[in-house]
Chains A and B, each alone.
Chain A
Amino acid sequence: MKELLEIGLQIGGWSLVLLCIGSLWIPGILGWKEHLVALPPLMRELWWTYSIYVWSSHVFFSVLLLAFGGWLMGGTGAAMAMNTFMLLWWGVRLWLQFFGFDFREIGTNRFNRIAKHLLTALFIGLVVLLAGLLCWNAGILTP
């Protein structure tokens, strides 16, 4: 199980790296600039500020998974707290993917459909991985 979680950490970490790189194209694909023209300056500025901070959190998570896997599996209270936080983060994001976002306004071309499915798969994978890490740290999963 330990090896499986270690492999999962690498896959999850690199998937997040890809997500962070891919996210750079999201504003263009979803036409954020055109949509945001109607907003007052402060709301536009808030929009970009929030977006960049969320993006930087994803960068941080990818660093954690790739470079601090041993710590995340260490069984300490801090590691469990961080696992729980990330599990909640991605759990909520997965829930939003199915029940929160209204994707009807986004074009249903092939690229968008594939991107949506890949994102869903990534969120499911991260939730499974982080739940596994949490169980490992709680001693529910054994080597």
Chain B
Amino acid sequence: METQLIENALRLAGTMLTGLVVANFVAAKRWDYAGNLAGTAVIVRQIFHVHCAYIIAIIGSLALLCLGWPHLLLADGMGRILSAFFALFWVSRVVVQLTYYDAGMRRDDRAWDLFFLGVFLTLAIIFGLAAYQP
């Protein structure tokens, strides 16, 4: 597959990842993270916020890389390793969505459920292509 095409696909991935960063903040409000965590121990709240922030940092940094320097993910062996890691990352996210998250809640928000499944799957495919591009 042409390198230029993969680079454009990575830029598309960068746009989707930027959307996911924004979605994380929307989700925090929609699912009332603060209210739900209010009754738990302080350390539990803090660990949740830290993990949440680190996940956003990973996704945000990857978005920046994909939008600004997609060629780096195709440049050498390390770029391919990084792409393979993120292909695995997003494939596993599809599996988590399908097998772990509450089925009832997913049914109640079927449209969003399918939308995010599509996003995660697309990201997995794009990074998979970047990793295995000949």
Q: Which residues of A contact B (CB under 8 A)?
A: 30, 32, 35-36, 38-43, 45-51, 53-54, 56-57, 60, 68, 71, 76-79, 81-82, 85, 88-89, 96, 100-106
Q: Which residues of B contact A (CB under 8 A)?
A: 31, 33, 36-37, 39-44, 46-48, 50-52, 54-55, 57-58, 61, 65, 69, 72, 75-79, 81-82, 85, 89, 92, 96, 100-102, 105
Q: Which residues of the other chain, A, contact B37 by a CB distance below 8 angstroms?
A: 39, 43
Complex Cα distance A94/B33, Å?
25
**Chain A residue at minimum C-beta to C-beta distance from B81:** A68
**Chain B residue at minimum C-beta to C-beta distance from A102:** B42
Whether B43 lies near A102 (C-beta < 8 A) is yes
Q: Which residues of the other chain, A, contact B55 by a CB distance below 8 angstroms?
A: 50, 53-54
**Using a Cβ cutoff of 8 Å, how many contacts connect chains A and B?**
94
Whether A42 lies near B102 (C-beta < 8 A) is yes
- CB of B27, distance to nearest CB on chain A (Å): 9
Whether A38 lies near B39 (C-beta < 8 A) is yes
- CB of A84, distance to nearest CB on chain B (Å): 9
Complex Cα distance A42/B96, Å?
12
- CB of B36, distance to nearest CB on chain A (Å): 5
- CB of A32, distance to nearest CB on chain B (Å): 7
Whether B46 lies near A102 (C-beta < 8 A) is yes
Interface centre among A53, A77, A102 (most CB of B within 10 A): A53
Whether B78 lies near A56 (C-beta < 8 A) is no
Q: Which residues of the other chain, B, contact A89 by a CB distance below 8 angstroms?
A: 54, 57
Complex Cα distance A79/B40, Å?
40
**Chain B residue at minimum C-beta to C-beta distance from A71:** B78
Q: Which residues of the other chain, A, contact B76 by a CB distance below 8 angstroms?
A: 71, 76, 78
A53 and B40 in contact, given A43-B33, A45-B101, A101-B46 (Cβ under 8 angstroms): no
Whether A38 lies near B102 (C-beta < 8 A) is no
13 A-B pairs with CB atoms under 8 Å apart are A39-B40, A40-B36, A41-B105, A43-B33, A50-B51, A50-B55, A53-B58, A71-B76, A77-B69, A77-B72, A78-B79, A82-B82, A103-B43
Whether B44 lies near A45 (C-beta < 8 A) is no
Complex Cα distance A47/B46, Å?
11
Q: Could you say which of B44, B82, B102, B105 contacts A36, with CB atoms under 8 Å apart?
A: B44
Whether A56 lies near B100 (C-beta < 8 A) is no
**Chain A residue at minimum C-beta to C-beta distance from B38:** A38
- CB of A83, distance to nearest CB on chain B (Å): 12
Whether A100 lies near B50 (C-beta < 8 A) is yes
